[in-house]
Amino acid sequence: MRVALLSFHTSPLAALGGKDTGGMNVFVRETARELSRRGVAVDVFTRSTGAHALRIDPRLGAHARVIHVPAGPEAPQPKHVLHQYIGAFVDWIVRFARTESAHYNVIHAHYWLSGLAAEQLRAQWNTPFAITFHTLAELKNQIAEREQDRESELRLRSECHLCSVADRITANTSLEKTQLVRFYGAGSSRIRVVPPGVDLALFHPIEQSFAKRAIGIPVDHRLLLFAGRIERLKGIETLFRAVALLAQRRRDWDWSRINLAVIGGDPSMEGVRQNEEMARLQALREELGLHDVIAFLGAREQEALPFYYAAAEMLIMPSHYESFGMVALEAMACGTPVIASDVGGLSILVQHNKTGLRVRVNDPAELARAIEKLMDDEPRRRRLGQRAACYAQGFSWQQVVEKLLAVYAEIAR
C-alpha cells in the first residue's frame, strides 16, 4: 500500500507551539512514522514555506517522506489567503507523482484546506480519500467572543461540502462524530472514530524530583503547567484569573515557591508583536500582580515536554473548545493529573475524579477551587495521576494506526 498524507497548511516537521502548529502536526508526523515502521510507503505533502527546506525530507522513516510543495510564495502566509494556492499545490503533486511513477492507494487529508486538495487529486487519480478535520469551524464560531475570531464562510461551506463528498471521515471522538452529523449533515455510516495517540516510549511517568532537576527548578518548588498554542480559545485568561484568586485567598501557601509555567508561543518582543494574544496575556499578568508567579517559557522541544509534565503538580487546560486535547493525553501518560474545561474531546478524555477534574468553561472561581483541591491533597493527586497513566496506555500510535489502516482498507477496496 502507498498512502498520500496531505497537510497543506502546516508541516509535520514544524516546531510545536506556534500559531498553527499543535496536535494536528503530531498526528500527521506520528501516523507517518508508524505506517513507515510497518513497511507502508507514505508521502506527506505540505506547502513549502521556505526555499531553504529540503524538497524531499526523509527523516520520518525508511518508507516515509515529507515533500515540501512549492505552491505560492515559499514563505509563511496568512491562513486566510492559502486557499488560492490549492490548485498550484495539486498540479505540482500530480506532476511529481507522474515523474516518480507513483500510484497511491489512499489519500488522507488533514484539515479542510487539504480536503479540497484531496478532492481534486481524487478526480485526477481516481484514488479515494479520507479526511480528518481536527477542528470544526461551526464549533469555533459558537464560542467566538469577537468577530475577528470567527472562521470564514468559505471554511464553513468547504467543511460542509467535504462531509458530503469524502469517501470516509475520521472523527477524534464519538462526540465529534455526533457534531459532524448534527451541524454538517455528514452521513454517520461514513464516519469512523479514530482518536489521536501518544508516544508511550517518550511520554511515561518520571520521578518528580528528578524531572524538576532536569528542567532546572528547585525540588521544593511547586509547578502548575499550561501547554498549548497562545490563542483566545485556549482560555489562558481564565487560568490567570484563577491563580490571582488563589493568591488572594491562600496566603498560607508559600507563593515564592509556586509557579505557573506557560509553554507555547514566542514570549520575546518579536513574538509579542506578531501575536496579539501573547501581548494581551503578558499585560494581564502585570495587571494581576503575578509577574513573579507566571513564567512564559515559549515553545519547548517535544523531547523536553515529559520532564515538564512530570515535574508539574497538574496540567491545566481551560480551553473554550478542544476537538480532542492531545496535550492532556501526553500529561496523563506521564502520570500527571489534568484539570480541564468540560468541553469537546476533553469531556471524554479527562474522566472526572478518575484521571483528573473537569470544570465549567470560562469560570475562574471554579477553576481556582479545582486547583486548590489538588494542591491540598497529595494522595488524591497521586491517585488521579496513576489512573491517568493507565488510561493513556489505550492510546498508543500502534493502536491508532491499526484503526487507520482499517479505514484505508475499506475505501481502497
pLDDT band at 13 (very low <50, low <70, confident <90, very high): confident
Residue 221 C-beta-side C-alpha neighbours within 13 Å: 21
**Mean pLDDT for the stretch of residues 64-91:** 95
pLDDT of residue 274: 86
Q: Are 173 and 195 in contact (CB under 8 A)?
A: yes
Q: Does position 332 have pLDDT exceeding 60, yes or no?
A: yes
pLDDT of residue 14: 77
pLDDT of residue 145: 83
Q: Does position 171 have pLDDT exceeding 60, yes or no?
A: yes
Residues 367-383 have pLDDT tens digits of: 999 999 999 999 999 99
Residues 381-392 have pLDDT tens digits of: 999 999 999 999
- Here the cell at position 406 is 482499517
pLDDT of residue 20: 60
pLDDT band at 17 (very low <50, low <70, confident <90, very high): low
pLDDT of residue 148: 85
3-state secondary structure the chain: CEEEEECCCCCCCCCCCCCCCCHHHHHHHHHHHHHHHCCCEEEEEEECCCCCCCCEEEEEECCEEEEEECCCCCCCCCHHHHHHHHHHHHHHHHHHHHHHCCCCCEEEEECHHHHHHHHHHHHHHCCCEEEECCCCHHHHHHHCCCHHHCCCHHHHHHHHHHHHHCCEEEECCHHHHHHHHHHHCCCHHHEEECCCCECCCCCCCCCHHHHHHHHCCCCCCEEEEEECCCCHHHCHHHHHHHHHHHHHHCCCCCHHHEEEEEECCCCCHHHHHHCHHHHHHHHHHHHCCCCCCEEEEECCCHHHHHHHHHHEEEEEECCCCCCCCHHHHHHHHCCCCEEEECCCCHHHHCCECCCEEEECCCCHHHHHHHHHHHHHCHHHHHHHHHHHHHHHHHHEHHHHHHHHHHHHHHHHC
Q: Does position 71 have pLDDT exceeding 60, yes or no?
A: yes
pLDDT band at 102 (very low <50, low <70, confident <90, very high): very high
Q: Are 54 and 61 in contact (CB under 8 A)?
A: no
**Mean pLDDT for the stretch of residues 335-354:** 96
**Mean pLDDT for the stretch of residues 292-300:** 95
Average pLDDT, the chain: 95
